Structure 1
C-alpha cells in the first residue's frame, strides 16, 4: 500500500450560505481532505515543526553570508 501524501494549495471554502473562507486545502490527489484558515494552517505548521524538533531533527541552519562571517 502506498503512503498517503497531502499537498497544500491555496483554496477558498465556499459554504452553502455563500460565505467564503480563504485559506489552504490539504489535497490527496484530487480529493480535498481538509480546509484550514491561514491561522489554523500556521498553527498546524508550528505543531509539525515542534514534533520534528522533538524527534531529534533540528532545523537545518541557513548558510551564513560574508557579512555575518566577519
Structure 2
C-alpha cells in the first residue's frame, strides 16, 4: 500500500498524498493512528523510505481495520 502511494505521489502536494494514502489504507483494511498517518505522509512527501515494521512497533494503536 505504501509502495503504491509512493510510486506515483512522489511529487504530489502533501494533501494529495494524504488522500491517496487514506484510500489505500481503506482498501488494504489497515488503520493507522493520526500520528502514524501523518508520519507516513511526511516521509512519502519527502521521498523517504517508509519502514512499515517501525510503524507497527510505534504504538499499541493502529492495525487491521
So what's the TM-score if we normalise by structure 2? Answer: 0.33
| Structure number, greater radius of gyration | 1
Q: Tell me which protein shows more helix as a share of its residues.
A: 2
So what's the TM-score if we normalise by structure 1? Answer: 0.31
User: Which structure ranks higher in relative contact order (CA pairs < 8 Å, sequence separation ≥ 6)?
Assistant: 2
